[in-house]
Chains A and B, each alone.
Chain A
Amino acid sequence: MTFRTRLLVVFTLAVVASVGMVEWLVTRATREAFERVERQRADVLAAQFQREFDRRGREIVRAVEDIAQSDAAVNVAISSDYSAFYNEASAMARAHGLGLLELVGGDGAIISSAEWPVRFGYVEDWLASPSGWKPGTAFLRREELPDGFTLALVAVETVNAGGRQLYVVGGQQLDQDFLATLVLPAGMRVLLYRNLEPQFAPHLLAGSADAAADAQEFQPLIEQVIRERRPRVATLGSGAAGETVHALPLAGIENNLLAVLLISSSRRELVELENSLGRNGAWVAAGAIFTGILMAAWATARVTRPVRRLAESAGQVAAGNWSATVEVTSRDEVGQLAQAFNRMTHELVEQRQRLVQTERVAAWRELARRLAHELKNPLFPLQITVENMQRARESHPAEFDEVFREGSRTLLAELANLKQIIARFSDFAKMPAPEMQPVNLNALVAETMRLFEAQFAQARVTARAELAPALPTVSADPEQIARALRNLVLNAIDAMPEGGALRVRTMPQGSGARLEISDSGKGLSQEECERLFTPYYTTKTHGTGLGLAIVQSVVADHHGRVSVESQPGKGTTFRIDLGDR
C-alpha cells in the first residue's frame, strides 16, 4: 500500500468516524428529547385520567346523593315489605345514569340491584365495615356481576327514614367505555388491567382492540406492578411496533390493588424519526464521505506530490541518473527534504566525477603498469638477445652468424609477441557497435563448441552442451556474442589446468535467453568475483585481463546482463542474459 493510499484511508476513516459520531450524537439527543416529551405526555395523560376519575367520582357521588334524597328511596327505606321494590334500582339507575346501583337494607341484605336484579336478599357485609367507605367519596371497588367480577367506581349514601336505614350504592364500571372518554394524543393509548382474579387473566385488560395479544405483551409488566405496588416504566416490543408503557397501580379503599393503569406511547414516531435521521444521516454521511474522500485525495495528492517526486528522483538516481533533482516548491519539511535531496545528488555527482577521475587515473596507471609489465617481458629477451649478438660480434665473430640467426628468431618471436599484445589492446579499444540481428544462441553455442573440440581434448576438458529446444531467438550481433562466448570458454579452460568438466547451457529467461558457462575449476573468492570484470584484472599469470572486460562490454552493448557465481573449490558459473527487457 502506497503512502498516498494509506493517507487516503486514514483521511477517509477520519471522515467516516466524524460523521458517525455526529450522527450518533444527533440520534441520542433526539431520543432523549423524544423520551422527555413522551414522559411529559404520559404525565399529562395520567393527570387527565386522574381528573376524569375524580370527575366521574363526583358525578357518581352526586347521583347517589340524589337517589338517596329522592322520595322513592325514602319509600323503599320505610317500607315494611322490600319485595315490591326489587326492580326499583334498575329504574333509578337509568334515571341517574348509573351503571351500577344497589339498594341495600340496614341489615346489609340487597333489596334491589340494577346490575344483578336476581341477587336480592344477598348480604353486602362490607357496608357494615367501619373502615370500608366514607360518604361523599367515590372509590374503586371489585363488584360481582352475573358474568363475573368487574371493577367499579362507586359511592355510598345512607337513607335514614322512619327509624330505618337504607344504603344506596351506586357506581360505574371502569371499562372500555370509561377509557373511551379520555382524549388521547396521537400515538398514545390507555389500557386498564382490572386485578379481579388471583391470577393474570387476559380478558381483564380493557381498552385494547386485540386484548389477547396485548395481554401477553403486558403481562410481565402488570404482574411486576401488582407485586411491587409501585409505578413502573417499561419498553415493550421492538422497532416501530414498540411501546413505552407507564404502569400506575390503582388501589381501592382498603388499599388493595384493584387495577393497573397502562399509559402506552407508541415508539413508532421515534423509530420513524430515527429512521429518517438515519436515512438523512446516511445521505449526509455519504456526501460527507464522498466530499471527504475527494478532499482527502486532493490533500493527499498535494502532500504526497513532492514526496513522490522525491521518490522518482531517488529512483532516477538509483537508475544511474545522478543529475536528477527535485523542484523545491515549499519551505516546509518536504521542501527541506527536497533541498537536501538536491544537495545530496549534487554531491553524489561531484563525488562520482571525482571517483571517475580517480578511477580513470587508476586505470591509466593500471594500464601503464600492465602495459609496462606486458612490454617489459618481451623487451627483456630483446635486450638480452641484442646484447648476446653484440657480445658474439665482439668476442666470438665465428659464432656470430649462428648467434645472429638465433637472436633474429628470438627477436622476431618477441616482436610478434609485442605485436600481439598491442593488437589486443587495440581490439579492446576498437570495440565496434553491435549489428543486431536475430540470433539462435543454440547454433552459436554448438559452433563454438565445435571450434574448441581440439583444445578441449588437449586440455583434458570434458565439454557438454545442454541446449534448450524451445529457446527464443534474441536480437544480437552474432560475431560479438561468439567472441564473448569464446572468451568465457577460454577462461574456463584456463581455470582447469588439470582438466575438468565444462558445461554450456542455454535456457529461456523471461522473453529472452540465458547463456550459462560452468567449469569445475578451483573457483573464485568473493573479492575476485567483485573485481573480475575490471579491465586488466586477471587471476592468471598470463593474459591481459581484458577478456572478461570485453565480455562485459559486449553484453552491455546488447543491453544484457552478465553475472558470475563461484565458490572456491567448486567451480565458476558465468551467466549472460540477453533479450529480456
Chain B
Amino acid sequence: MSPHQAQLLWGRMASYAAIGNRRACRLPIGTQLTKLPHKQPAPKIRGSRLPFWLRLCLTSEQRRASPSPLTVATCIFLIWSLLPASAATRPRYGGTLRVEIQASIETADPPQLGPGMADLAPAFAITRWEAGRRAAYVADENAPGGRPFLDAVEVELARPPRDQAIDLDVGKADLIEIPPSEARRQPAGRRTWVSQPVRVLLLLFGARVDDPRAREALALAVDRTAIFNVLLQRQGEISGALLPQWLSGYAFVFNAASDTAKARELAAAIPASARSFSIGVEDAALRPIAERIALNAHDAGLAVAVAPQAGAADVRLLEVRIATADPARALAAIAATLGLAPPPPADSPDALYNAERGLLEGFRVVPLFHLADVYGVAARVKGAPGISPLGEWRFENLWLESGRP
C-alpha cells in the first residue's frame, strides 16, 4: 500500500468513526461516501459483496477490483488503531467553522463546481452569498449522510495569505489556506491538512511561439530544482509529466532536469526574433516562479519578460487542477482545459503513458510541478481531515471543540 492509499484509508476510517455517531445516519447501499465532482458521474459500485466496513476504506477504483489480502489487512489495522482515538474524542454539535480563502469569486451565484465551497453541498446549504467577499452555509438537517456536526460554515473570500495566517493565530479563523512558500514557516504544533499533489503547474505556449526549438529551449532552461527548493519550499513534486506520480505511477519517466547548455544551443540556432517572448501569469502567487523562469531563460539566451497581462502573453504559467482519481479521465480533463487535442482512450498504463507523451510532444505544454492543497487548521477543529486526497472539502464530519455537547 502506498502512502497515498494509507492516507486515503485514514481519512475514510476517520469518517466512518464519525459517521457512526451522527444522528439520522442512514447508509443505504450505494451511498456515495467520497464526494465526487458534480460533473463526474457516480461510479458504479460493483463491490457490494464486500463488507460494509471494508467498502468504506476503499477507493472506488479499489472497490471495482477485488482488494488484495494486504489491503484488507491494512484496513483492519487502521480501523483497530483509530477506533480508540475517535472514541476518546466525542463529537459535538454546533458552532460555526470559519474558513478563509485567497480566491475572490466574483460570480453572481456561489460556485457549483470544483473543490471548495461546491463540496459543501448537500450537507450544507447556502444562506448568504456576497460575491468576492463572503459566503455562509448552514447545516442541512436532512442531509443524506445525516446532519453535520457543525451548525454553519462561513467562508471569507479574497483574504491574503498573510492575513489568513494572522487570523488563524488570533483565533479569528478555523481553517486557512497555506501557500507552498509558507508551508515550512508554520509555527510548531500547527495542524495542517495536506492533499495529494493535485495541481499541476505548467507552461502553455501560445500559437505565436511556433518554433519548437524555442519551446524546448525554455523547457530545458527552467531550473525546477531551485524553484522547488526555494519558491515552493519543497512542497509538492518536481515533474515533467501532466499526471502526478501518485496518480499515474510513471511521472518520473518524463524528464524534468534542466540543461542550460543545450537550451543555449537551441536558442542560438533560432532567429533572434523567435528568442524573445513574454510570459504571463494570472495568479499573483505564481509570479515569482514566472520571474525565475524568465531569469533562467535569460541564462539560456532567451529574452523572456513577465507580461503584465497574462492573456496577451506568448507563454502562460498555469495551474491546472486534477479533479478525478481516474488518470485517463484526469489526462483528458487536463488536455481539454489546455485546449489540446483529446488523448486517445487509454485502458492500460502503457496506453496512458503514450497518450500523455503525445500531449507533451512538441513542448507546447511543459509541466513543471505538482502541488498539493495545504490548509492550516485551528486547534478547536476536530474530526477527520476536512479535505479529501483530491483537496475536496469534507466538513460534514468535523466538529468544534467549543460546540454544543
Residues of A within 8 A of B (CB): 83-84, 86-87, 117-121, 146
**Contact indicator A83/B295 (Cβ below 8 Å):** no
The interface centre, meaning the residue of A83, A84, A86, A118 with most chain B CB atoms within 10 A of its CB, is A118
Contact pattern, B 216-234, Cβ under 8 Å of A = 1, otherwise 0: 0000000100100111011
**Contact indicator A83/B288 (Cβ below 8 Å):** no
Selected from A84, A118, A120, A146, the residue in CB contact (under 8 A) with B184 is A84
The interface centre, meaning the residue of B184, B229, B230, B234 with most chain A CB atoms within 10 A of its CB, is B230
**Contact indicator A83/B230 (Cβ below 8 Å):** yes
> In the assembled complex, which residues on chain A have CB atoms less than 8 Å from the CB atom of B223?
121
8 nearest A-B pairs in the assembled complex, by CB-CB distance: A118-B292, A118-B291, A83-B230, A86-B230, A83-B229, A121-B226, A120-B230, A118-B288
The answer to whether B185 has its CB under 8 Å from any CB of chain A is: yes
**Contact indicator A84/B226 (Cβ below 8 Å):** no
CB nearest neighbor in A for B293: A118
What are 16 sample pairs from A and B whose C-beta atoms fall under 8 A apart?
Answer: A83-B230, A83-B233, A83-B234, A84-B185, A87-B181, A117-B288, A117-B291, A118-B288, A118-B289, A118-B295, A120-B226, A120-B230, A121-B223, A121-B226, A146-B291, A146-B295
CB nearest neighbor in A for B288: A118
> In the assembled complex, which residues on chain A have CB atoms less than 8 Å from the CB atom of B185?
84
> In the assembled complex, which residues on chain A have CB atoms less than 8 Å from the CB atom of B233?
83-84
> In the assembled complex, which residues on chain B have CB atoms less than 8 Å from the CB atom of A86?
230-231
Complex CA–CA separation, A576 to B185 (angstroms): 138
B299 to nearest A CB, angstroms?
9
> In the assembled complex, which residues on chain A have CB atoms less than 8 Å from the CB atom of B181?
87
> In the assembled complex, which residues on chain A have CB atoms less than 8 Å from the CB atom of B289?
118
CB nearest neighbor in B for A82: B230
> In the assembled complex, which residues on chain A have CB atoms less than 8 Å from the CB atom of B231?
86, 118
A120 to nearest B CB, angstroms?
5
CB nearest neighbor in A for B223: A121
CB nearest neighbor in A for B290: A118
Main secondary structure of the interface of B (DSSP, over half): helix
Complex CA–CA separation, A146 to B306 (angstroms): 10
Selected from B184, B230, B234, B288, the residue in CB contact (under 8 A) with A121 is B230
CB nearest neighbor in A for B289: A118
> In the assembled complex, which residues on chain A have CB atoms less than 8 Å from the CB atom of B292?
118
> In the assembled complex, which residues on chain B have CB atoms less than 8 Å from the CB atom of A121?
223, 226, 230
> In the assembled complex, which residues on chain A have CB atoms less than 8 Å from the CB atom of B184?
84
Complex CA–CA separation, A119 to B295 (angstroms): 7
A274 to nearest B CB, angstroms?
51
CB within 8 Å of A: which B328-360 residues = none
B interface, size bucket: 10 to 19
Contact pattern, B 171-197, Cβ under 8 Å of A = 1, otherwise 0: 000000000010011000000000000
CB nearest neighbor in A for B306: A146
B185 to nearest A CB, angstroms?
7
Complex CA–CA separation, A83 to B234 (angstroms): 9
> In the assembled complex, which residues on chain B have CB atoms less than 8 Å from the CB atom of A120?
226, 230
CB within 8 Å of A: which B201-244 residues = 223, 226, 229-231, 233-234
Please name 18 further chain A to chain B contacts, defined as beta carbons within 8 Å, in addition to the given A84-B185, A117-B291, A146-B291, sorted by A numbering.
A83-B233, A83-B234, A84-B184, A86-B230, A86-B231, A87-B181, A117-B288, A118-B288, A118-B289, A118-B291, A118-B292, A119-B295, A120-B226, A120-B230, A121-B223, A121-B226, A121-B230, A146-B295
Complex CA–CA separation, A121 to B295 (angstroms): 11
A109 to nearest B CB, angstroms?
10
Complex CA–CA separation, A121 to B231 (angstroms): 12
> In the assembled complex, which residues on chain B have CB atoms less than 8 Å from the CB atom of A146?
291, 295
A83 to nearest B CB, angstroms?
5
Contact pattern, B 269-311, Cβ under 8 Å of A = 1, otherwise 0: 0000000000000000000110110010000000000000000
> In the assembled complex, which residues on chain A have CB atoms less than 8 Å from the CB atom of B295?
118-119, 146
> In the assembled complex, which residues on chain B have CB atoms less than 8 Å from the CB atom of A119?
295
B347 to nearest A CB, angstroms?
42
Complex CA–CA separation, A421 to B181 (angstroms): 159
> In the assembled complex, which residues on chain B have CB atoms less than 8 Å from the CB atom of A83?
229-230, 233-234
Complex CA–CA separation, A474 to B105 (angstroms): 126
A425 to nearest B CB, angstroms?
132
> In the assembled complex, which residues on chain B have CB atoms less than 8 Å from the CB atom of A84?
184-185, 233
CB within 8 Å of A: which B312-327 residues = none
CB nearest neighbor in B for A87: B181
B279 to nearest A CB, angstroms?
12
CB nearest neighbor in A for B226: A121
CB nearest neighbor in A for B295: A118
> In the assembled complex, which residues on chain B have CB atoms less than 8 Å from the CB atom of A87?
181
B121 to nearest A CB, angstroms?
38
Complex CA–CA separation, A83 to B229 (angstroms): 6
Complex CA–CA separation, A305 to B288 (angstroms): 102
> In the assembled complex, which residues on chain A have CB atoms less than 8 Å from the CB atom of B234?
83
Complex CA–CA separation, A118 to B184 (angstroms): 18
Complex CA–CA separation, A86 to B227 (angstroms): 11
A290 to nearest B CB, angstroms?
71
Complex CA–CA separation, A118 to B291 (angstroms): 7
Complex CA–CA separation, A120 to B181 (angstroms): 14
CB nearest neighbor in B for A147: B305
> In the assembled complex, which residues on chain A have CB atoms less than 8 Å from the CB atom of B291?
117-118, 146
Complex CA–CA separation, A119 to B226 (angstroms): 10
Complex CA–CA separation, A83 to B185 (angstroms): 11
Complex CA–CA separation, A121 to B292 (angstroms): 11
B292 to nearest A CB, angstroms?
4
Complex CA–CA separation, A118 to B292 (angstroms): 5
CB nearest neighbor in B for A119: B295
Complex CA–CA separation, A125 to B25 (angstroms): 68
> In the assembled complex, which residues on chain B have CB atoms less than 8 Å from the CB atom of A118?
231, 288-289, 291-292, 295
Complex CA–CA separation, A146 to B185 (angstroms): 27
> In the assembled complex, which residues on chain A have CB atoms less than 8 Å from the CB atom of B226?
120-121
Complex CA–CA separation, A120 to B289 (angstroms): 12
Complex CA–CA separation, A84 to B181 (angstroms): 8
A239 to nearest B CB, angstroms?
43
Complex CA–CA separation, A119 to B291 (angstroms): 9
B221 to nearest A CB, angstroms?
14
Complex CA–CA separation, A513 to B226 (angstroms): 127
Complex CA–CA separation, A121 to B260 (angstroms): 15
Complex CA–CA separation, A119 to B185 (angstroms): 21
CB nearest neighbor in B for A86: B230
CB within 8 Å of A: which B29-52 residues = none
CB nearest neighbor in A for B182: A87
Complex CA–CA separation, A86 to B229 (angstroms): 10
